[in-house]
Amino acid sequence: MRPNSIFISYRRDDSAGYARAVYDELARRFGAERVFMDVDDIAAGEAFADVIRRAVGESTLLLVLIGRRWLGEREGQPARITEAGDFVRIEVAAALAKGMRVIPLLLDGMPMPTASQLPEDLRALVGRNALELDNDRYAADIERLAAAVREAIGERVASARPRAPWIAGVAVAIAFGALALFWSLRPSAPVAPVAGISVAVRAAVNGEWQAALEYDWPNARYTERFVLGGEGRELHGSASFLGVPRGMLEGATEGDALRFITRTQESGAAADVVHRYRARLVGDELRFVMQTEGGNSTHVPVEFTARRVTGKP
């Protein structure tokens, strides 16, 4: 791990989907080498607790993703957060003891735990200013999170240095000269495209989309949201699965078509489940086909239509 890194702390059976979405967003904005998440950054055979403590010690900021099962409550037993060997407790306690910047990230309206619910070494978490991340306003919340992370790790948006007046004057003169040359040489008729070269125009897919989706198992109706961004052929953002946003991977556009994948974790599965999405923009609708691969069951492709919520076409 390098200095100024960001550690994402989460409980897998509580917020794995949100953790992946946050990881993908922060890795894209700040660089993957600056963001630590256990699934991606702990190699097979390494001692989990040792890697966690070392990674926390080398980090500047710790994000604590808190969902409805973050405490690890169990019927007839104390919550897992009270156990000395609980990895979430180890991560957060190490960061608080070090005096790190710790930001609780409350998911989908979850309130901050009370001090009485936490062991002694975690009670300082209650006094930390929290941010919220909600599926219904995901795009706005992720921007607020990115701004907080940027401030916490000391990264500033570079501003141009003031130029000496004579430099500015020369720049203006050069600009006017170039503009005059352009107009003097501009052909009177449009130039024909060069043979063999085509320029793909990006479809107007950026923005937020929503779809009513029925999966291929009983009583599985969900409203899913898609947040799409990027320029040219690049596509990034999030797609919810079972109501939880997941970060897009391998996203790309080609004309009026787009594709991406997301990953989820299924209990008992040997590896992440992969969801492959393909869509075509028809009018102001995105017509999707989604295929799920891996996991414990075989799934048929699911077809659905997403309609625009925000964003200019």
Helix, strand, coil shares of the chain as percentages rounded to 5?
30, 30, 35
What is the pTM assigned to this prediction? 0.60
CATH of 207-310, one of 3.40.640.10, 2.40.30.330, 2.30.130.60, 2.40.128.120: 2.40.128.120
Give the Å distances, CA to CA, from 104 to 91, 110, 151, 202: 13, 11, 15, 37
Whole-angstrom distance, CA of residue 62 vs CA of residue 96: 9
Residue 21 has pLDDT above 60, yes or no: yes
Whole-angstrom distance, CA of residue 121 vs CA of residue 71: 14
User: Using one digit for the tens of pLDDT, what is the confidence trace for 138-166?
Assistant: 888 999 999 999 999 886 543 334 444 44
Residue 284 has pLDDT above 50, yes or no: yes
Q: Which residues on adjacent β-strands are paired with residue 216?
A: none
Q: On the CB side of 138, how many CA atoms lie within 13 Å of its CA?
A: 27
Give the Å distances, CA to CA, from 31 to 20, 34, 149, 226, 263: 15, 6, 13, 23, 20
- Give exposure, 286-302, as e/b (b: 16+ Cβ within 10 Å): bebebebebbeeebeeb
Higher per-residue confidence, 157 vs 279? 279
Q: Do 5-152 and 207-310 share a fold?
A: no
* Fold annotation for 5-152: Rossmann fold (3.40.50)
Q: Both tokens of residue 48?
A: 């989990």
Domains of the chain, residue spans: 5-152, 207-310
- The dihedral through the CA atoms of 240, 244, 245, 248 has a sign that is negative
pLDDT recorded at residue 269? 58
Residue 187 has pLDDT above 60, yes or no: no
Lowest-confidence segment of 111-120, 167-176, 268-277 by average pLDDT: 167-176
